[in-house]
Amino acid sequence: MIAFIPARGGSKGVPGKNIKEICGKPLIAHTIEAALKADKIDRVIVTTDDEDIARVAREAGAEVPFMRPAELASDTASAVDVYLHAAEFVANETGEPVEKFMVLLPTAPLRDEKNINEAIEQFEKDGATTLISFTEAECPVGWYHTMDEEGRIKNAGFGAKGSNVANRQTNATYYIPNGAIYILDYKLLKEQRTYYCDNTYAYIMSRADSIDIDYPIDFEIAEFMMKKKLGNN
């Protein structure tokens, strides 16, 4: 299976995020190394518009066989189009259709080769159309509220009546995608522009391994957890 790693250069929350160092390596290098170590991954391809990211990716061992077009690297560009572009490039390059492929976001540096291999094994065992990694939600959906301009709060309308004041233990368990692993279907993506269908399965990951880097503080949390994980190996 091919692993695509999307990494554009225009991060607003943390400038230069994808090549910012964490535990002595550029952020993207952790994902590249995990994919290269996973024995079920055949190729590791980074799709980027940024020459510095491309250089770092190649140094870490990934392929960068094309530079992503500018229209697919803007704030408004669709991730679906980015993945279709990468799959179609490889199909044209090899002459073979890319029916299934994995996407690994570089912002999930604690996802490792074990997770990648397990996800592919589960995908194959379940006969899934797509598979997405999830983790348990931090709080029940009934706890979510909205707030008006004057600061008054109102229940957001999720969950059963009364769940906003119920103890956590009395609520159902909810799961959210953690952004670490996607196994996608080219036809589904092309025709319906979605990752989800009636045959989508979840690969469940721990909350500790599901840290997703969006803000500067996330780097500090991820680095702490990574050092702890490395110390236990």
pLDDT at 91: 98
CATH, residue 23: 3.90.550.10
pLDDT above 70 covers a percentage of the chain that reads 93
In this structure, are 168 and 185 located in the same domain?
no
Return contacts of 162-169, CB within 8 angstroms, 24+ apart.
166/140, 166/142, 168/139, 168/140
Bigger pLDDT: 25 or 166?
Answer: 25
pLDDT at 61: 98
Q: 146-191 pLDDT, tens per residue?
A: 999 999 999 888 866 666 666 656 567 889 999 999 999 999 999 9
Domain that holds residue 196: 2-135+175-232
Residue 126 contacts residue 202 (beta carbons within 8 Å)? no
CA 66 – CA 49 distance, rounded (Å): 9
In this structure, are 55 and 156 located in the same domain?
no
pTM exceeds 0.85:
yes
Domains held by the chain: number: 2
Would you give the DSSP letter of residue 48? B
Q: 77-136 pLDDT, tens per residue?
A: 999 999 999 999 999 999 999 999 999 999 999 999 999 999 999 999 999 999 999 999
pLDDT at 158: 80
